[in-house]
Amino acid sequence: MKRILVTGAGGQIGSWLVPELRRRYGAASVLATDIRTLSPEAVSAGPFQVVDATNAKAVGQAVMRHRADAIYHLAAILSAVGERDPRLAWHVNMTSLEAVLEVAREQGCAVFTPSSIGAFGSDTPKNPTPQDTLMRPSTIYGITKVAGELLCDYYYERYGVDTRGVRFPGLISYGAPPGGGTTDWAVDIFRGAVEHGRYTCFVRADTQLDMMYMPDAVRAAVGIMEADPDRLVHRNAFNIAAMQLTPERLAAKIREHVHGFEISYEVDPVRQSIADSWPDGMDDSAAREEWGWKPEYDLAAMTEDMLMHLRQG
Ligand SMILES: NC(=O)c1ccc[n+]([C@@H]2O[C@H](COP(=O)([O-])OP(=O)(O)OC[C@H]3O[C@@H](n4cnc5c(N)ncnc54)[C@H](O)[C@@H]3O)[C@@H](O)[C@H]2O)c1
């Protein structure tokens, strides 16, 4: 039986991960926290508390009262928002991670922290991007992700904190909207198709990035935390991959279901340059070997499922 605290629970990932954790471990065992109040449906499904994850004291008290033995740390500022306010991104991403790791060290919790394809930079090999490779990102978001990976490794090596994590690709989901990342187009394109039959994309037609459907991302987050620690060589920041998409490839697949769907392009130079610096396809063989990672959704299965759920409203 696990008792879990989730930070940033109201975001794109948390709104999927919290229900899955509650299904697996019991609703009362999972305390959802966020800096803002969540929707009444999310709150009534189980315990919820407003907690600023950058406040170590508040995180510590919430962990103690809930008697948590694991923390899923999702609170963060994402890539595009981070470029608008770099100091905020550094403050939120680093201060909250340090707070969570210190609380975990004091109270003996395991910690899941997501890294990202954004941790890589333009001089990283792009396809395939190896598990262990050159990482010199040019965004403040990426810098916090690399620093976070290293800090999680440090807390494991130095203090024995059971830190684990994956590098998520761009995540595609219905429900809670994405929080201001560079891959938001891959979610918005579905809404555009269903609601208006067209979509204006902010990156070029041939911009290839790793993407994943949210049910697979949630399985990865739970899977790495349940993995046999004796088999883990890397522990933190496993590359995980499911599909490589460009806007034109995704648009063509959507057009098979939404006749006459039109895509046009108004490129945002900031997000285009971020996307250009990220991998085209990650090598996830370490995750496959060390804890049995395997995605279930490919482009066709994801597109069908997304459109079905969005059409149901
Ligand atoms: N969504 C993706 O495509 C993706 C890809 C790679 C990595 N990630 C990582 O996964 C994690 C979660 O991402 P997401 O997409 O759910 O982000 P999101 O922006 O949708 O949600 C983040 C949540 O954190 C909350 N938050 C912000 N500041 C906070 C604070 N100080 N204290 C407590 N809560 C705070 C926000 O209110 C929000 O609900 C992040 O670390 C992100 O970098 C996401």
Supply φ then ψ for residue 132, to 5 degrees: -115, 115
Instruction: Please state the rounded mean pLDDT for residues 169-174.
Output: 97
Q: With contact defined as beta carbons under 8 Å apart, do 111 and 161 qualify?
A: yes
Q: How far is the CA of 256 from the centre of ligand 1 (A)?
A: 32
pLDDT, position 53: 98
pLDDT, position 1: 59
142: Cβ below 6 Å to ligand 1?
no
CA distance 18 to 72: 10
247: Cβ below 6 Å to ligand 1?
no
Q: Is 13 exposed, middle or buried (0-12, 13-18, 19+ CB in 10 A)?
A: buried
Out of 15-29, 30-44, 149-163, 221-235, least confident range: 30-44
Q: Is 21 exposed, middle or buried (0-12, 13-18, 19+ CB in 10 A)?
A: buried
Among 221, 217, 195, 181, smallest CA distance to 302 is for 217
165: Cβ below 6 Å to ligand 1?
no
CA distance 152 to 169: 19
CA distance 85 to 241: 29
Instruction: Please state the rounded mean pLDDT for residues 160-187.
Output: 96
pTM of the model: 0.97
Among 164, 178, 152, 26, smallest CA distance to 94 is for 152
Q: With contact defined as beta carbons under 8 Å apart, do 198 and 192 qualify?
A: yes
What do you get for the CA distance between the two ends of the chain, in Å?
Answer: 35
pLDDT, position 42: 74
76: Cβ below 6 Å to ligand 1?
yes
Q: How far is the CA of 22 from the centre of ligand 1 (A)?
A: 19
pLDDT, position 109: 98
Q: How far is the CA of 78 from the centre of ligand 1 (A)?
A: 7
CA distance 124 to 116: 14
Catalytic residue chosen out of the listed positions 141, 174, 199, 213: 141
Dihedral angle sign, alpha carbons of residues 17, 22, 27, 31: negative
Instruction: Retrieve residue 186's tokens.
Output: 């891959």
Let me know how long the chain is: 313
Q: With contact defined as beta carbons under 8 Å apart, do 275 and 209 qualify?
A: yes
Q: How far is CA 259 from CA 185, 192, 193, 251, 252, in A?
A: 20, 13, 10, 11, 10
Instruction: Please state the rounded mean pLDDT for residues 141-147.
Output: 98
pLDDT, position 270: 95
8-62 pLDDT, tens per residue? 999 999 999 999 999 999 999 999 999 999 887 777 789 999 999 999 999 999 9
